[in-house]
């Protein structure tokens, strides 16, 4: 059984929990909620070498206008930036010969999957750190490069603060003096209201996710997904944002500036301090692919991390891609055809 759909939720989550590259995005309930609200069928594939489960690979499948579309993740780039293959915990420490054997099994498994699903369009964003894509190149996949920001939290907090941009340090001192503070919240209402404004902006070329999607994710993972609010001294909300706190501390979905002030800069510093205090080794700030956010995020002196996209399409898939990017990727059409837009 080189590849098969896994039906055991506990076995799947146990594998993801043990795998260094397994993220909350990969866990069973996260996949199922995402599939339900995007209208895609979740296919949680396990890839085996003999009887040993060596990797899992969640895919999302949908037939659109007769075309077979296979994605990982589905079109939720602002919410699920990457997904794809999760190698087992033994992969990192394995000798290169064993790694080669495992990667060969992955490539063969994807060939079998492609034979079953016959995708006209296939796209997979691999997690940061998955770099050996030689076999996928040989199999005709096109490789795209994406970026995210990460901060190593090993240095003392004083060093992390000294690494900040000079102007940012001055702004932080100002908001500290003005009595701004962060608290974890229970109510998603103010968060979703702010996110709705952000996603409805003309430069946000992604679908707006329904509030129920976030509520189900928060309900499934109350220990790992949190919403935080930044308040001024008078108790007025001046910033909103969510985090994933699983194996790494990820700034997940955030709101726009409120009142046009740079309070979000201080907000992010408080979140970084929170991650450090909780013992996380890495603080990830997604969004490095957005040129409008680069200068802001660079103020924290992050490292630039790469994650790769594998894609392949036939002639029908290329036409569908052109139609989507040229015509269907307009807000009024999205709201008509994408079920998870409010």
Tell me the β-bridge partners of 313. 121
Same domain, yes or no: 260 and 199: yes
CATH code assigned at 19: 3.40.630.30
Same domain, yes or no: 247 and 188: yes
pTM beyond cutoff 0.85: yes
Q: Can you give the pLDDT at residue 292? A: 83
Residues 6 or more apart whose CB falls under 8 angstroms from that of 284 comprise: 148, 149, 150, 151, 248, 249, 250, 251, 305
Same domain, yes or no: 178 and 290: yes
Q: Can you give the pLDDT at residue 319? A: 76
User: Cα–chain-centroid distance for residue 140?
Assistant: 25
Q: Can you give the pLDDT at residue 200? A: 59
Same domain, yes or no: 153 and 266: yes
User: d(Cα 135, Cα 125) in Å, to the nearest integer?
Assistant: 16
Residues of the chain with pLDDT under 70: 1, 77-78, 198-208, 320, 322-342
User: d(Cα 143, Cα 136) in Å, to the nearest integer?
Assistant: 9
Q: pLDDT digit string (tens) for 164-200? A: 999 999 999 999 999 999 999 988 888 888 877 766 5
Residue 154 dihedral angles phi and psi, to the nearest 5°:
-65, -40
192-229 exposure pattern, b = at least 16 Cβ within 10 A, e = fewer: bebbeebbeeeebeebbbebebbebbbebbeebbbbbb
Q: Can you give the pLDDT at residue 1? A: 60
Alpha helices in 79-233 (DSSP H): 96-117, 134-138, 157-162, 166-177, 189-199, 211-220
User: d(Cα 39, Cα 338) in Å, to the nearest integer?
Assistant: 8
Tell me the β-bridge partners of 336. none
Same domain, yes or no: 142 and 25: yes
Same domain, yes or no: 48 and 13: yes
Same domain, yes or no: 181 and 222: yes
Q: Which range marks the domain in which residue 83 is found?
A: 3-147+310-337
Tell me the β-bridge partners of 87. 55
Same domain, yes or no: 89 and 180: no
Q: Can you give the pLDDT at residue 225? A: 97
């Amino acid at each position: 059984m080189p590849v098969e759909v896994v039906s055991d939720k506990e076995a799947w989550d146990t594998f993801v929990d043990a795998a260094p590259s397994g993220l909350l995005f990969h866990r069973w309930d996260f996949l199922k909620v995402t599939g339900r609200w995007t209208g895609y069928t979740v296919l949680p594939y396990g890839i085996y070498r003999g009887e040993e489960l060596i990797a899992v690979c969640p895919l999302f499948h949908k037939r659109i206008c007769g075309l077979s579309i296979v994605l990982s993740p589905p079109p939720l780039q602002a919410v699920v930036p990457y997904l794809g293959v999760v190698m087992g915990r033994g992969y990192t420490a394995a000798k290169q010969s064993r790694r080669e054997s495992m990667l060969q099994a992955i490539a063969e498994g994807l060939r079998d999957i492609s034979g079953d699903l016959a995708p006209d369009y296939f796209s997979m964003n691999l997690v940061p750190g998955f770099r050996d894509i030689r076999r996928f190149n040989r199999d005709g996949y096109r490789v795209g490069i994406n970026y995210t920001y990460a901060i190593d939290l090993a240095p003392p907090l004083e060093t992390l603060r000294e690494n900040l941009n000079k102007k940012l340090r001055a702004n932080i001192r100002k908001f500290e003096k003005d009595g701004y503070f962060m608290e974890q919240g229970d109510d998603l209402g103010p968060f979703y209201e702010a996110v709705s404004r952000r996603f409805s902006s003309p430069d946000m070329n992604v679908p707006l996710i329904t509030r129920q999607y976030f509520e189900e994710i928060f309900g499934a993972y109350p220990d790992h997904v949190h919403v935080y609010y930044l308040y001024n001294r008078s108790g007025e909300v001046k910033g909103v944002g969510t985090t994933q706190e699983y194996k790494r501390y990820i700034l997940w979905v955030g709101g726009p500036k409120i009142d046009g002030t740079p309070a979000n800069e201080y907000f992010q510093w408080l979140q970084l301090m929170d991650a450090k205090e909780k013992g996380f080794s890495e603080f990830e700030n997604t969004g490095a692919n957005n040129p409008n956010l680069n200068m802001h995020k660079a103020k924290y002196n992050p490292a630039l991390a790469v994650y790769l996209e594998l894609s392949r399409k036939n002639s029908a898939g290329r036409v569908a891609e052109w139609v989507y990017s040229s015509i269907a990727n307009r807000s009024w059409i999205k709201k008509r055809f994408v079920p998870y837009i409010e």
